[in-house]
């Protein structure tokens, strides 16, 4: 694989590994279905029948309502026509990138998943980094920045933008005529991230765009929806960009989202969180045996960064060694899209996997590090 490969390329390599290596790359939920989720999936044939009998707007409205209420977004513009259902959050991001005027300067959180930066650059936008430290200090960029992108919670660090900080950002953006763009793909996993961001943004009079995602929550094998919501104030051609990309999301998948969202508020989130935290604990225990640690010990999302000390192998070397041992993880340099060198001391692993997979991969990671370390 090329040194210039992006994160998604590495994730594809893991998915298509003909030798069946352990895949701890992508953040999609690849857990076993719970009994409650299995009961929902068993109803898919009924959902196909319902899709032929019931108007699409009715199905879409029910899905939007169930999902957004399940993640605390009670003032999202449900039923206004300003929430578009996409096949994925990546497609939603690309639609936003195409809707922004070519040449717009956009501040993007750093580090964060590299496809956000890649898609924006591909569509002719100019990027500048907004560090997590600047976000926490409420040090917001002014003109010529025309749009500010935050990931809430952030991937890979798990950082949640506090409500007061988002209010500060929204008020700043209103004063300077900037658009606030929120990628909330991991929001459903973290109660602290589920304050009503739509209410905060609207109260400040801000022009905003928000992307939600269902793919990080449920193990539905890419049967997912990315929601693209936008403010009443925006004049960007979002609907036109949407129409150039797709006709509509699947009414069957929308019904699946509705049913799983109802389960999410009926104990589903707690069940998923318990599995992820059990996996985080086994990774932490394996790391302890070789003196490594989790870089973000308070993160609640279903991925985790491993911090690598300066006097040991960097993530590029460890990544290659793990590949040779049949374990796929993500080196973090691509997350640091504006300064890849600053990501060389981190490896990211997904925790949304069966326990046996995570436990075996964690043991292999520790063994590989021990053998590569000059202190071994």
Over residues 181-203, the mean pLDDT reads 98
- State which fold the 43-262 domain adopts: 3.40.640
Q: What angle do CA 156, 159, 165 make, to 5 degrees?
A: 145
- What's the rounded Cα separation, in Å, for the pair 283 and 268? 23
39-53 pLDDT, tens digit each: 999 999 999 999 999
Instruction: Supply the DSSP symbol for 32.
Output: P
Residue 3 has pLDDT above 90, yes or no: no
Quick one: which of 86, 147, 94 has its CA closest to 123? 94
What percentage of residues in the chain have a pLDDT greater than 90? 95
- The CA distance from 16 to 32, in Å, is 19
Residue 255's nearest CA partner among 54, 93, 94, 78 is 54
Flag whether pLDDT at 21 surpasses 90: no
CATH number of 7-34+266-372, picked from 3.10.20.90, 3.40.50.2300, 3.30.420.40, 3.90.1150.10: 3.90.1150.10
What backbone torsions phi and psi does residue 224 show, to the nearest 5 degrees? Answer: -145, 170
Q: What is the mean pLDDT of the chain?
A: 96
DSSP for 317-362 reads HHHHHHHHTTEE-EESGGGSTT-GGGGTTEEEEE--S-HHHHHHHH
Nearest to 5 by CA among 305, 340, 314: 340
Look at residue 5 in the predicted model and tell me its pLDDT.
80
C-alpha to C-alpha distance for 139 and 89, rounded to whole angstroms: 27
Residue 234, Cα to own-chain centre: how many angstroms? 24
> In the prediction, which pLDDT does 1 show?
38
Q: What is the pTM of this model?
A: 0.96
Torsion angle of C-alpha atoms 191, 31, 109, 121, degrees rounded to 10? -140
Quote the pLDDT of residue 375: 59
Do β-strands 145-151 and 105-110 pair in parallel, antiparallel, or remain unpaired? Answer: parallel
Domain chopping of the chain, boundaries: 7-34+266-372, 43-262
pLDDT for position 19: 83
Q: What is the pLDDT of residue 81?
A: 97
The CA-atom distances, in angstroms, between 344 and each of 85, 110, 331, 340 are 36, 14, 7, 7
Question: Could you give the 3-state DSSP secondary structure of residue 212?
Answer: strand
266-292 mean pLDDT? 97
**CA–CA dist 47, 220 (Å, integer):** 15
Predicted confidence (pLDDT) per residue in 236-275, tens digit: 999 999 999 999 999 999 999 999 999 999 999 999 999 9
Tens-place pLDDT, residues 348-363: 999 999 999 999 999 9
* CA–CA gap between residue 237 and residue 95 (Å, rounded): 9
Contacts of 308 (CB under 8 A, 6+ apart): 292, 314, 315, 318, 344, 345, 346, 347, 369
Confidence (pLDDT) at 4: 56
What pLDDT is attached to residue 2?
Answer: 41
pLDDT, tens digit (0-9, with 9 covering 90-100), for 60-85: 999 999 999 999 999 999 999 999 99
Q: What is the mean pLDDT of residues 93-104?
A: 98
pLDDT at residue 166, rounded to an integer: 98
Give pLDDT, residue 231: 98
């Amino acid at each position: 694989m090329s040194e210039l490969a992006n994160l998604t390329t590495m994730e594809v390599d893991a998915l298509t590994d003909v030798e069946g290596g352990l895949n701890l790359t992508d953040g999609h939920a690849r857990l076993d279905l719970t009994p409650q989720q299995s009961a929902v999936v068993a109803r898919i044939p009924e959902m196909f029948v319902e899709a032929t009998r019931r108007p699409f707007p009715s199905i879409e409205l029910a899905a939007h309502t169930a999902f957004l209420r399940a993640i605390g977004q009670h003032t999202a513009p449900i039923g206004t026509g300003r929430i578009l259902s996409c096949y994925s959050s990546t497609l939603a991001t690309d639609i936003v990138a195409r809707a922004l005027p070519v040449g717009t300067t956009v501040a993007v959180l750093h580090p964060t998943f590299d496809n956000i930066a890649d898609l924006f650059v591909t569509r002719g936008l100019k990027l500048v980094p907004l560090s997590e430290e600047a976000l926490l200090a409420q040090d917001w960029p002014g003109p010529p920045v025309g749009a500010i992108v935050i990931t809430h919670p952030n991937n890979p660090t798990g950082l949640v933008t506090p409500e007061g900080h988002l209010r500060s950002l929204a008020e700043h953006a209103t004063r300077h005529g900037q658009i606030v763009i929120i990628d909330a793909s991991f929001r459903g996993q973290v109660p602290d991230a589920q304050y009503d961001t739509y209410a905060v943004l609207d109260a400040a009079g801000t022009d905003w765009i928000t992307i939600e995602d269902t793919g990080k929550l449920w193990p539905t094998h890419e049967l997912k929806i990315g929601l693209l919501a936008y403010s009443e104030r925006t004049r960007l051609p979002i609907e036109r960009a949407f129409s150039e990309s797709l006709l509509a999301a699947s009414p069957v998948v929308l019904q699946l989202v509705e049913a799983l969202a109802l389960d999410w508020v009926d104990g589903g989130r707690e069940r998923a969180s318990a599995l992820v935290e059990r996996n985080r604990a086994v990774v932490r225990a394996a790391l302890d045996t070789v003196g490594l640690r989790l870089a973000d010990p308070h993160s609640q999302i279903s991925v985790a960064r491993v911090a690598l000390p300066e006097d040991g192998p960097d993530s590029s070397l460890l990544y290659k060694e793990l590949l040779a041992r049949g374990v796929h993880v993500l080196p973090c340099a691509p997350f640091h899209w504006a300064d890849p060198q600053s990501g060389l001391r981190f490896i990211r692993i997904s925790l949304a996997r069966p326990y046996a997979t995570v436990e075996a991969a964690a043991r292999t990671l520790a063994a590989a590090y021990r053998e590569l370390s000059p202190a071994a």
